[in-house]
Structure 1
């Protein structure tokens, strides 16, 4: 008998086959439709979670709904609010490759390894994940904070090298760059008024880290950002907005390019909300004032995988 097809009887082979399973293709190729894995849920997280009380990190945890080890806000990302009262220090130690902080309010200093600098309201900070981060506040502070620990937890890995160094995007410079984009005569013809934060170490993706994308945007008064979709999850944070700003989200668009049976998310300053990957979403500002938002996504990784697939209606 051909040795390649002869039955194998030794105990090592029996043990090696113990975990093997086989599925007919149609019953396994779409685990969401089959109910094997959950959809990423819509969820809002209000500013009341962090607007008072002691210094702390507040994870925006959806791990139970996602059916994954927690905490996690999406399959590969965790968003949190941080409150840091004047005179206090917090140590951040995620097992992550990438971290992004936005300073909602306050001022203070940061240290990671041999790097240290001061921060204030409106700054963005990108950090690698191999060394702990010390945050100290000289005035009461609040942060929006996203990192990729859930991705590494799922893969069962830990970072072995830093792909970039701690990077500060000062508020004054970020605001000036955003205003420059808004004042461009061609801005009204573009799909959005925003800037993407980049890092010179990632020229292919032009993203803030190799995993994370951070966009700083304006939704002009009386404007509509038409329906669009992408395969990255969006962890959106509303910096500031007047009444009359909202997002519509849904899984399908009609023949006129409008979202069918949408879920509405009304904006409020300091609100965070989840936009699931692959879902159509549109932003509306029905007021006479500008609104400001930050979507943070795993689009650095998706762009590198050539899978981001941004589409507009």
Structure 2
């Protein structure tokens, strides 16, 4: 008996039919050439979750970014979640990191590891669970961000948890933010804010190994000077009165203003996208404190040493 196995030979034509070769200058910068789409400045209204049935509303830019899976940035997907009082909803993402900010409401989330109780203003991070069942004791809304586009792009599935479910209560966050606000050097800093971190990620100092989260205040009558970084920012306006806005653009003028800036006016409960590499500054011309919460893929960029954060500093 012949026990030898027969190996399948792939025809040479099949091995070469997908191959392409470009002259260097025609492919070295696929963003400028248009092969890689630019990330747009985009705003998502709180009207998307203000009323109606219990549901998840993906903030999907897959058409703009030419993907066949939902994205808000190349490696991150943001969604609004609405849960009517007394109802529940299950979320499940093929992701390694999930971020939830409780815009309003109260309730609890059931996962394999146990239950997480939450209230308005709380934040919790999950390590990409198979299913999370969110129960609302009052009308509830979440701002939810995960890294599922990164896994979809790589063609992989999560194999293990990198951290345990973690809760950051509103009291914890606001206590530390007040301390940062009252620091004598606060006025000299680019942002008056706190960064949420996890003890497992001592190299990146981020909330997960891929995601980064800031919670900041823009006091009335202030301008927070421009900075830029290579992570995309999915900003959420926690609190804002008319007259608060962000200016965004790829270049600075000699005086430190943003050249041909796009103005994004803050609306409480709205989200907006700040593209990677764009300068951006926050301005508060209202008479009240404004609060902002950006979520970025800066955990990944920090580990890759590609964040390249830069600050404009006045003389």
Could you tell me the TM-score, scaled by structure 2's length?
0.94
Name which of structure 1's ranges 184-193 and 89-98 shifts more when overlaid on structure 2: 184-193
Say which is worse superposed, 296-305 or 31-40, in terms of deviation.
31-40
* Cα distance between partner residues in 2 of 1:113 and 1:237: 29
Stretches of structure 1 that go unaligned for 5 or more consecutive residues are 1-9
The equivalent of 1:229 in structure 2 is 228
Matched, 1:244 2:254: no
Aligned partner of 2:158 in structure 1 is 159
Match of 2:101 in 1: 102
Asked if structure 1 preserves the Cα contact closer than 8 Å seen for 2:111 and 2:129, the reply is no
Q: Is 1:64–1:70's contact at 8 Å kept on the other side of the alignment?
A: no
Partner in structure 1 of residue 194 of structure 2: 195
Q: Contact between 1:130 and 1:161, CA under 8 Å: does it hold in 2?
A: no
The alignment's C-alpha RMSD in Å is 1.1
Alpha-carbon distance in 2 for matches of 1:144, 1:154? 23
Counterpart in 1 of 2:5? none
Indicate conservation of the 8 Å contact 2:234/2:295, yes or no: yes
TM-score, structure 1 normalization:
0.95
What is the alpha-carbon distance in structure 2 between the residues aligned to residue 34 and residue 238 of structure 1? 33
Matching residue of 2:3:
none
Q: How many residues align?
A: 304
The question of whether the paired residues in 2 share the 8 Å contact of 1:239 and 1:293 is answered with yes
**Deviation, structure 1 residue 131:** 2.4
For residues 15-48 of structure 1, the C-alpha deviation after alignment (integer angstroms, 9 at most, x for no partner) is 3222211110000011111121210011100110
The SS at the match of 1:273 is strand
- In structure 2, how many angstroms separate the alpha carbons of the residues matched to 1:39 and 1:154? 17
**Shift of the alpha carbon at 1:11?**
6.3
Cα separation, 2, equivalents of 1:67 and 1:102: 28
> CA shift at 1:117, angstroms?
2.0
CA distance in 1, matches of 2:26, 2:220: 48
Residue 94 of structure 1 and its aligned partner are, at CA, apart by 0.6
Name the CA distance, whole Å, in 1 between partners of 2:109 and 2:14: 51
Separation (CA, whole Å) in 2 of partners of 1:81 and 1:15:
44
Aligned to 2:29: 30
Q: Which runs of 5+ in 2 are unaligned?
A: 1-8
Equivalence map 1:88-127=2 (5 Å): 88-127=87-126
Give the secondary structure class of the aligned counterpart of 1:109: strand
Task: Please tell me whether residue 172 in structure 1 is matched to residue 171 in structure 2.
Answer: yes
